[in-house]
Chain A
Amino acid sequence: MNATSDIAVVVDGVHKVFGGGGADDVTALAGIDLAVAPGEFVSLIGPSGCGKSTLLRLIGDLLEPTAGTVTVFAKPAHQARLDQDYGMVFQHPGLFDWRSVAANIELPLELHDWSKADRSARSAAMLELVRLEEFGGHYPRQLSGGMQQRVSIARALSFEPRLLLMDEPFGALDEMTREHMQGELLRIWRETETTVVFVTHSIPEATFLSNRVVVLSPRPGRISSVVEVDLGDRTDDTREDPEFFRVATEVREALRAVEAGE
């Protein structure tokens, strides 16, 4: 493992058991090995209960593994969290109602003691990045779900983390907004050169966004297969590309194999 410093995320032999050691313990993840290269976009996909969100939370040090190690940018996940190496986006935008859009984006900067001037400059730049320039003074409840999620992405990226962890961020959006947001996310990913680990249960979403799709099987969660995706520069036309369908089919069959293996 001497090359770990060149790797963004290394998950090594991770087990995660929920419970206090009794008979009703649940093994959420078993023997997970995964490496994510810097700048890579990796999706985790699998049926409900396969532990994909758990895996994401282990990478983000919001949970601790029962066994095994998680290394983020060559340091323990815990240190990476303290060093603010990653930004996190959840399924619900999770904006603070009492803060304006700009103040929401500035929240992590406030916690890191940025000066007022630096904060406003950065939130303005972030609003531009997610194309909500005119909405800095608005309040979250004045925005649509898709716009709120864009603010949430801006907030996660505001302190320029090298890693972005996303947990079904577009799960609550309608299909058209969802596709639009996927395009936006890819644009932001290219512009910022961030590494992304993305949890989803949508096959087209995983296929469209990722360099690699990691398929998990449930109870206990294991990596059952990894599908490489090479769609080149993605545009809206990519969604109708034969190669897109071929990869999506490959992911679908991997998922079916998982379900059949129950």
Chain B
Amino acid sequence: MENSEVQNNQIRTTISKVKSETSEITRISKTLLEKSDRITSGAGEQITSLDNLLSAQNQSLATFRETAQQAESIAVSSEQMMSSINEVAASVEQLAANGKSLNISVEEVSTAIIQSAASTKQVADSAVEMAASAAQITSTMTELASSFKNIGDDTKQLSDSVDSTVASIEELGKSNEMNTQAAIELASNAEETTSAVNELASSIEEVSATSESLASNIEKVANSNEELDKSFRLVVENVRKISDLSDSSASSAIELDAASKSVASLASQAEDVSKTMTQSTAAGIDLAKKSLNGLHKVKESINTTAGVMKELGKKSYDIGSIVDTINLISERTNLLSLNASIEAARAGEAGRGFAVVAEEIRNLADRAAKATSDISAIIRSFQEITQEAVNSTNEGLKVVDDGSKLADESLEGLNKIMENIKQTDQVIVNVAKATDEQIKASSSITKMVADTSSQTKHIVKAIEEQALTSSEIAKSMISMKQSAQQLTQSMNEQGKAAREIMKAAQSTTQLSLQLKKSAVEQNEAIKAISGSSQNVRKMAINTTKAVIQQVTAGEQVSKEVSRLESMVNSNTKAMTEQAASAQQITKSVDNIRKQSEQTAKGLEEQTKTMREMTSASQSVSKQIAIIARSTRELISTNDNALTQLSEIRKITERNARESSETNSNTRQLNQIVENLDKVVDDLVV
């Protein structure tokens, strides 16, 4: 009993010990349960934040991929831009070459024009010379005409004196006839009447007186004849002068003809030069049109480039905003990793692995942040470069516009030259026409002058013959004078004899017969003189006619010559105009040359700008390649982070599973302890 009592007590003590142990166990297991609950909930939270992190990471990866795509598209655009820029550069160089060839043709045109100007000047000089010789001819002709007029006057005078001589001679003839009749009458009377000897004597004296007057008349005729001879000599002299003058005018006319022909050849030369100039100018216009087309093409290309540049600028701003997003994401990733680290630290030993992963994520986020700041810097410089390229493009566009304007102006200038050349051509044609007319006129003048010369020679010959006749007349007059003197002497003797007749009437009849014979002879002589005088008169009339003809011819020549002079003057004027036009052309061509030089300069500037643009685009291309590389790095880094995060997630899930297992185990343990407690309670009972 006592033993059992002792045993019972022992059992009781043991049971109460067991009870206290079980309650201790229960307490511990409850604490354990609490802790395990906390771990489970912690793991759940961890999973949620990891999920968040994963989705954020995926998002960032997608953004990175987009960035990479953008960078690639930028690279493609920049390559396109490069090729367009190269194309532009090539066309600009071609344009520059065109500009140079234009320059060369303009210089060619210029030399052609200068040549033409020189020729024109030569022509003008010739024209001036021709005008001078025409003036000389005119003055000579005028002189000639005036001397003709002098001759005409002289001839008229001569004619008049001849007329008066003839009249005197006729008078003489008449009175002589009367005398003859009287003598005949006397003879018959002497024969019939011897008684009227006194009468006869007085008649004889009368006859003597008449005879004396005859002698004086004859002397007068002789004197007139001498005068006639003198005027003939003057006429001959004047006619010789005329002949000399007409010879010299013939040589002048030949000179004039030669000068006209040289003007004609110069005009045809000028025409050739103007044709070459027309061709050169047409070629210049063609080239200017080509260069204009080239400039339009350049402008199009530059516009395309400008468009691409703007697109590029826009893209770079897009990338900037993407980079901002990436920056934000990396900041958030850093934040999440810090929070994960805090949670892991709070989890203690259990969170150790997690802490390592969180740190890794933080490092990755930091690297991402650094890469984005690098990209930001690159994009900033890229934007600057793009802006510069846009500016350069705008400048290029301006330069092209200026070039277009210059090319337009040069085209205008060339068209003006073309117009001027056409005008010059017209002037040259006019000159050629005028020169042709001149040549025709001068040849007709030459002919006329030659005609005049030969006519003058004829006249000289006729006048010389006339002179000869006149001197013959003079000779016969002298003999007539002698006869008259003889007659007077005879008459005087007759008078003496008549007084003797008064003594011897018979011899009177004989003497009367003699007288009758002498009177008839005398009459015949006078008739001969009258015939000669008539001849002289005819000749004088002929001379007058010839001289008048000569005067008319001279006047005609004078008229022709003044026509020639006016033609030459108009020719000279045309030539002067031509010279002025040539100078204008030279000036225009000089302008063109200057303009074309300016164009060439503008094109060189353009080429330079294109080169700068090309180098700028190359650097842009490089920068883009750097961005693409950085972005690819970023993507691979992010991929790594993603893998790491997935691992973390797996680990966390395993953790959660294990902790829930722990939890259920703890619950089972708790149940068992409770059961044990019950059993112990039963045992106590």
User: A and B, one complex?
Assistant: no
Q: Which residues of A contact B (CB under 8 A)?
A: none
Q: Which residues of B contact A (CB under 8 A)?
A: none
